[in-house]
Structure 1
Amino acid sequence: MYNSWFHIRAIARYLQSVLPDAVIYGCYTYQKDELVIRFADGDQLQGIQLAFHPPLPGLQLENRLAEARRHVALFKKLTGERIHSVKWHRSDRQILISLKNDQKYLLLQLFGINGNGFLLDPNFTVLDSFRKSRKEIMVRPEEFTTRDSLHVPEPAFRQILAEHHDLNITQIVSRLPIPVFSTTLTGELCYRSGLSDKMLVTNLSNEQIGILFHHYNHILTEINQNHYFVYESATPLFSLLALKNRLSVPCESFTDLIAASRHYVALFYQATNREQLRKLLSSRLALALQQFQRKLRRQEQELLNLPTATEYREWADTLLANIHHLPNHSDTVTLPKLTNPNQSLRIPLNPKLTIAENANKFYTKSRQIENSRKELQDSIRDAQESIRKISHQLKTVQACQDLKEMQQIQQQIPARLIQQQPGPDSTEREPFYRFRAHNWELLVGKSARDNDRLSFKHARPEDFWFHAEHGTGSHVVVRNPGKQASLPPDIIEYAAGVAAFYSKAKHSAVVPVIYTKKKYIWKRKNMPPGKVFTKFTKSVIVKPLDPKELV
C-alpha cells in the first residue's frame, strides 16, 4: 500500500494538520529525479522528499533533514511563501498545496517514476515544473478536498454490483465509489469475506453480498483510524490496517506516520540490497558450478581414455628378460608372455633405439601414465569437493533471508569466484547476425522478438533501418557511427538486398524494400513482436541478396 491512494491521502491529511502557516524555506534537488521541499522552523516536520525513480518512488516525510552541500535550487518563487492548506485528490495520487491565500499552488503528482511537481498560478496554469512534461496539466480544484468520507451506502453498493454482475470481485472493486483498492486490500477483503477474488458477482448470494459490503466498509473504517503496520516479510509490506490474512507474518505497528514510513523504507532497502546481493552471488556461484562440472566431465573422460600403465611395464619387463637374444634396431618383436608363456606378446619398437633403450622408454611411459592417473584422480576429487561446496553455498544463498547473514556468506566465498565475469559460453545470445560490406556493418534480426531487441536495444538513433515493404521479414540495421545523412547507393542496394533475402519474398525476382533512420521507427505497447511504425521512409526495388556474397 506504499504510495497507494490511501497512503497519499494519509500523508496529505498529516500535512494538512501540521503545515498551514508554515513557511517554505526552499526547494532544491541534489540527485536526479529527487525533489526536496524544506520548511522553516518546522518542529514536527522539517521537509518532504519526493523520489521519482526506482526502486521506491514516493513521498517521504522528514523530521530531520540535513541540507546537502551541493544542490540546485528550484521553484525559487516559493521561497518565503506561507502555506495556506493541503488538499488531496478524491480518486488520484495527487496533492495540491495552496500558498498565500490561493495566490499560488504547488501540485505534486505522485505517479511513481512518472510523477512530477508543478508550480501553478491562481488560474492553475503551469508556471514551472520539476521535470519536463509534454502533457498539458488540467487541474480541477473541485476534485481536491481536505475532508472526505470513506463510507459507501449499502444501496449504492448493491446497485453497482447489480449493474456489473458479469464481473468478478477483483474487477468490481474498481467500479465502487472509492475505486482505489489495491491488490493487497482486495485480497484482504476476499479473505475476510471468505470469497474467491475470481468469483463472479452473479454467483454471489444475497447473504454473501451483505458480508462483502460489511467487510468493505469495515476495512475503510480501519484505514481511517491512523494506525500503520509494517509487515516484515521477505518483501516488506506497508499497510494502513491490520491484515488478517497475514497473521503469521511478523509485524510492527505504529501510530506515527513518519516513524512507520521510515521503518518501512529501511526494511525495503535492506530487502532490495539483500536481493541484489543474492542475485550477484547466485549468478557467480552458478557460473563457477557450471565451470567445475564441465571440468569434472572433461577429466573423467580423460581418465577413461588414459591407457593402462601395466601394458607398457609388461612390454619393458618382457624385453629385458629376452634382451640377450633380441636384435637391436627392430621395428617389432613377438615374444611369449612372462606370466603365461603359452600366449604371445607383440611389442612395437623404435628401430633407432636399442632393446634396452626401448625398455627404458616403456618404463618411463608407464611412470608417466601412473603419475597422470594419480594427478587426474586427485584433480577429480578436488573438483567434486568444489562442486559440493559451491552447491551448498548456492543453496544457502538462495534460502537466506537476512542481509547480514548473506554478507557473512559472501566473505566465505573465494573472491575469485565473485569477481569472475561470464565467459563466452555464458554470454547472452546475440539477437542478430553480423555481416560487413565495404567497411559498413550490417546487423540482421534472427526472429520477430530478436527484431525488437535489435531495433530498440542495440540499434542507435542515427543507424539506418531496412525492411521488406510487404510481408514479414528481418529488420536490417546498417551501423552509422559517423552519423552520415545518407548511405552510399551501393550500400543501400546491398542492405536492401539482404532485407529482401531475409523476408518471405526471398524467392521473388525483385522485392520492394523501405528504409529510414532508426530514430524514425517506434512501436506501441502490446504490438506483436517485430511489428513497428515508421515515418520518413524511402523505397527501393532490389533483387534478394544472400549476405554471403558480401564477403
Structure 2
Amino acid sequence: MAFDGITVAAMVQELKNALADGRIAKIAQPEPDELLLTIKTPKGQKRLYISASASLPLIYLTDENKPSPMTAPNFCMLLRKYVGNGRITGISQPKLERIIILDIEHLDELGDLCKKQLVIEIMGKHSNIIFCDDQGRIIDSIKHVSAQMSSVREVLPGREYFIPDTMAKHNPLAIDESSFGQALKEKPMPLGKAIYTSFTGISPAVAEEICYLAGLESGITAGDLSGDMMAHLFRQFAYYMEDVRQGAFHPVIYYEGSAPKEFGALPLTHYNSLARKEFSSISQVLSTYYATKNTLTRIRQKSADLRHVVQTALERNRKKYDLQAKQLKDTQNREKYKVYGELINAYGYDLAPGSKNLTALNYYTGQEVTIPLDPTMTPQENSQKYFAKYNKQKRTFEALSDLIQETADDIQYLESISNALDIALSEADLAQIKEELIQSGYVRRKFTKKKVKLTSKPLHYLSSDGYHMYVGKNNLQNDELTFSFAAGNDWWFHAKGAPGSHVIVKSNGDELPDRTFEEAGRLAAYYSKNRGSDKVEIDYVEKKHVKKPNGAKPGFVVYYTNYSLMIDSDISNIKAVQD
C-alpha cells in the first residue's frame, strides 16, 4: 500500500486532534533523514516521528524514543534555533497531496512573534522535510536538491518553495461528474490505472476499491463504459471522497496468515476475504505495518560494511578453493608414476639405448602398459624421473588436502556469518557479529576508550506444548546457547549441511512431544540459508552428544549420532516470547 494522499488526510486529522496548540519541547535527528519531535500539549506529551527515507518515508505519532547522535546534525541545530519551544498553530494538507504543513509560531532573539512552516513531503524517493519562512522561502531542508539532481525544482536555502505539478492530476475533492468522465476517457488504459494516474493522492489499492464498489472490473477501459456506468462509477468515487472530506476514517490492516498484506485509512472491501484488524488511529496502523519493515531496512543499511567484508572474504576463499581443487585433481594420477618407476627398474635392463617407450606387464593389474621414455636418459634415470614426479605430487596432495579443508571450513564459517547478518534484528546484533569478525581477524579493531557493550540476546519462542525454545542469532550466541546455556538432556537442532542457527529446546527432563520437535525443526529451517524451502532436512540430537573440536571456529560443532526430520520453514504459528 502506498502512503497515499488519503492516508495523509487521515494523519492530518489525527495530528490536528493530538497536537493542537502544542509546543515543540525537543527536536532530535536520530538518522540523517529522520526527525523526532517531542511536543507538549494540553492533552500530554506526544512524539511525532518523521522520516524522509527514500525507501520508507513515514510520519506518525509514537510512544517510542530513539537514540540520537552525540553531535546534532546541522538541520537539527537549525530547527532548535528557530522553532525550539515554538507553538504549532496549524496543520494542513494542500488538496490531497502527500504533503503535511506544520505552521509554527515562535519568538525571535528580540522577542518578536515570527511564523515558520515545516513542510513534510511523503513522496517516495523524492521525500523531504523542508523548513520555510512566512514568505514561502526555503531556509533549509533535510535533503538538498540541486539543479543537477532535478530539473523540476531546486530545494536549496533561499529558493522559493512550491509544489511541483509534474503529473497534471486533478483534485479528487473538487471534481465534478463531467470532468471526472472526461479525465478517465483521455487515458486509454485499464480503469483502475486511469483513476490513480488522473487524480491526486489516490493509490492503486484505492482505485481498485472504487472499481470494486461500483461493481466494475478494474481491467476494462473507460471507453468501454456506458453513460450510466460512468455515472455510477462517479457516484461511488464521490461517496468515497466524501468520507475523506468528512474525516470518516476507519484505519484497518488486512492480514494474509500472520503477515500484514495491506492497510487503509478507509476499509478496502475487496480484501474482505482476508483477516482484518481495526485500529483507533492511523498512527497505530503505520507503526504496526511498517515497524518491522523499517527496522529491517535500517539494519540492512547499517550492516552494509560488514556484508562487504564477508562477501569479499567469501569470494576470495571460493576462488582459492577452486584453484586448490584444480591442483588437487592434477595429483590424482600420482600412483601411476610410482608404478612406471617400478616397472622400468624391473624390465628396463634389456632396453636398447635411445628407446622412446617401454611395454611391460603391470604386475598390479595383470595388463600390459606402455611407458613413455626420454631417449636421452638411461633406464635408471627415467625411473628416477618418474619417482621424483610421484613424490612431488604426493607432497602436493598431502599439503593440499589440509589446505582445501581449511578453505572449505573458512567458506562454511563465512556463510554462517552471512546468514547471521540476514537474521540480525537490531544494532546490538550487528555489534556482536562485528565483534566475532574482529576476533576472527576479518575486521581490525579500532582503538577506543569506550568499551562496546554486547547486549544482543538469542531469540526466544514457546512451543505449543509449553517448552521454551531458543535460537542463536550468530555464532557467538550459538556457542553460548549450546555449551553454556543448554543442559545435557536438552535437545539441539540445526539445518543439515547449511549455515544456520543452533536451536535449543529446554526439555526439563521430559520426553518432548512430537509437535515440539516439529516446531523446533521449523525454527532451525527458518533461521538457516534454506529459509523459504518447503522441505528442509534438520538434524537433531540431545545436547550431550554435541562436541566442539579444539581450536574450532565459533559456531562449529561435531556430532556422530543424530536423528533427522524433513520440515517446512513456516514459523507463523510459533509464539515468540519478548524477554
Closer, same or farther: CA 189–318 of 1 in aligned 2, 3 Å: same
Partner residue of 1:213? Answer: 234
TM, length-normalised to structure 2: 0.50
Whole-angstrom CA distance in 1 between matches of 2:358 and 2:104: 110
Match of 1:180 among 201, 204, 209: 201
Q: Contact conserved, 2:249 with 2:265, CA < 8 A, in 1? A: yes
Give 1:255 deviation, angstroms: 0.8
Secondary structure of the structure 1 residue equivalent to 2:93: strand
Aligned to 1:94: 100
In the alignment, is residue 136 of structure 1 matched against residue 154 of structure 2? Answer: no
Q: How does 1:110-149 map to 2 (within 5 A)?
A: 110-112=120-122, 113-118=126-131, 120-121=133-134, 124=135, 126=137, 128-129=139-140, 132-137=156-161
* Cα distance change of structure 1 residues 342 and 33 upon mapping to structure 2, 3 Å threshold: closer
2:288 matched residue in structure 1: 263
Using a 3 Å threshold, how does the CA distance of structure 1 residues 268 and 134 change in structure 2: closer, same or farther? Answer: farther
CA deviations 1:316-362 (Å, max 9, x no partner) are: 33433555x779xx6658766245999986643775x7x65654553
Q: Does 1:229 align with 2:249?
A: no
**Structure 1 match to 2:185:** 165
Structure-1 residue corresponding to 2:61: 61
Residues 321 and 408 in structure 2, CA contact (< 8 A), matched pair in contact too? no
Cα 1:315–1:26 shift into 2, 3 Å: closer
Query: Which residues in structure 2 correspond to 1:185-200 (within 5 Å)?
Result: 185-190=206-211, 195=216, 197=218, 199-200=220-221
Query: Which among 346, 352, 376 is matched to residue 320 of structure 1?
Result: 346
Residue 254 (structure 1) aligned to one of 270, 279, 282? 279
Are 1:74 and 2:99 counterparts?
A: no
Provide, for residues 249-282 of structure 1, a one-character-per-residue CA deviation record: whole Å limited to 9, x for no partner: 7765311333333323422223425765998869
Q: Residues 285 and 390 of structure 1 are in contact (CA less than 8 Å); yes or no, is this contact kept in structure 2?
A: no
Partner Cα distance (1:202, 1:360) in 2? 92
CA–CA distance in structure 2, aligned partners of residues 201 and 342 of structure 1: 86
Deviation at 1:203, TM superposition (A): 1.3
Deviation at 1:196, TM superposition (A): 5.4
- Partner of 2:59: helix, strand, or coil? strand
Q: Residue 94 of structure 2 aligns to which amino acid in structure 1?
A: H
Secondary structure of 1:39's aligned partner: strand
Instruction: Give matches, 1:437-448, under 5 Å.
Output: none
- Flag the 1:46–1:332 CA change in 2: closer, same or farther, 3 A: same
The alignment partner of 1:74 has SS state of helix
Q: Which runs of 5+ in 1 are unaligned?
A: 140-148, 422-551
The alpha carbon displacement at 1:161 in A equals 0.9
DSSP 3-state at the match of 2:185: coil
Paired with 1:397 and 1:97, the residues of 2 have a C-alpha distance of 45
Structure 2 match to 1:533: none
Tell me if structure 2 keeps the 8 A contact 1:94–1:107: no
* 1:7 alignment partner AA: T
**Residue 181 of structure 1, CA deviation:** 0.6
CA distance in structure 2 between the partners assigned to 1:285 and 1:166 by the alignment: 51
| Residues 119 and 127 in structure 1, CA contact (< 8 A), matched pair in contact too | yes
CA distance in structure 1 between the aligned counterparts of 2:331 and 2:284, rounded to whole angstroms: 68
Structure-2 separation of matches of 1:222 and 1:56: 27
CA contact (8 A) 2:314 2:414 kept: no
Task: State whether residues 119 and 128 of structure 1, in contact with CA within 8 Å, keep that contact through their aligned partners in structure 2.
Answer: yes
CA RMSD of superposed structures (Å):
5.6
Q: Is the 8 A contact 2:210 2:233 kept in 1?
A: yes
**Structure 1 residues 36, 306: closer, same or farther in 2, change over 3 A?**
closer
Aligned letter for 2:250? H
1:13-41 Cα offsets, whole Å, 9 max, x none, are 12222333434446565764544544335
- Gap change, CA 1:361 and 1:214, over 3 Å in 2: same
Does the C-alpha gap of structure 1 residues 384 and 83 become closer, same or farther in structure 2, counting only changes over 3 Å?
A: closer
User: 1:365 maps to which residue?
Assistant: 389
Q: Does structure 2 retain, via aligned residues, the 8 Å contact 1:165–1:201?
A: yes
Cα deviation 1:48-74 (Å, max 9, x = unaligned): 343334443343324565896754263
Matched AA of 2:120: L
> Are residue 109 (structure 1) and residue 102 (structure 2) matched?
no
For 2:215 and 2:96, locate their aligned partners in 1 and report how far apart those are by CA, in whole Å: 28
Which amino acid in structure 2 is aligned with residue 5 of structure 1?
Answer: G
Per the TM alignment, residue 91 of structure 1 is displaced from its structure 2 partner at its CA by: 3.1
Give a deviation string over 1:161-190, Cα, whole Å, max 9, x none: 1465231335643587x6321233224434
- Does the 8 Å contact 2:24/2:39 carry over to 1? yes
Contact 1:160 1:175 in 2 (8 A): no
8 Å Cα contact 2:138-2:159 kept in structure 1: no
Assess if the C-alpha contact under 8 Å between 1:320 and 1:356 holds in 2.
no
Deviation per residue, 1:255-311 (Å, 9 max, x gap): 133333332342222342576599886996699479648854884587369656436
Q: Does 1:8 align with 2:31?
A: no
8 Å contact from structure 1 (residues 105, 119) kept in 2: no
Instruction: Tell me, in whole angstroms, the C-alpha distance in 1 between the residues paired with 2:87 and 2:201.
Output: 32
Alpha-carbon contact 1:35-1:50 (below 8 Å) kept: yes
**CA contact 1:33–1:51 (8 Å) conserved in 2:** yes
Q: Distance in 1 between matches of 2:266 and 2:336?
A: 79
Unaligned runs of 5+ in 2: 107-112, 143-155, 164-170, 444-579
Amino acid at match of 1:254: F
CA distance in 2, matches of 1:150, 1:38: 34
Maintained 8 Å contact 1:320/1:359: no
What SS is found at the alignment partner of 1:95? Answer: strand
Find out whether 1:40 has 2:40 as its counterpart.
yes
Q: Which residue of 2 aligns with 1:204?
A: 225
Letter in 1 for 2:336: T
Contact map agreement 2:331 2:396 (CA 8 A) in 1: no
Rounded to whole Å, the distance in 2 between the matches of 1:236 and 1:314 is: 71
**Could you say what secondary structure the match of 1:180 adopts?**
coil
- How many residue pairs align between the two structures? 392
Check 1:24–1:45 CA distance in 2 against 1; reply closer, same or farther (3 A cut): same
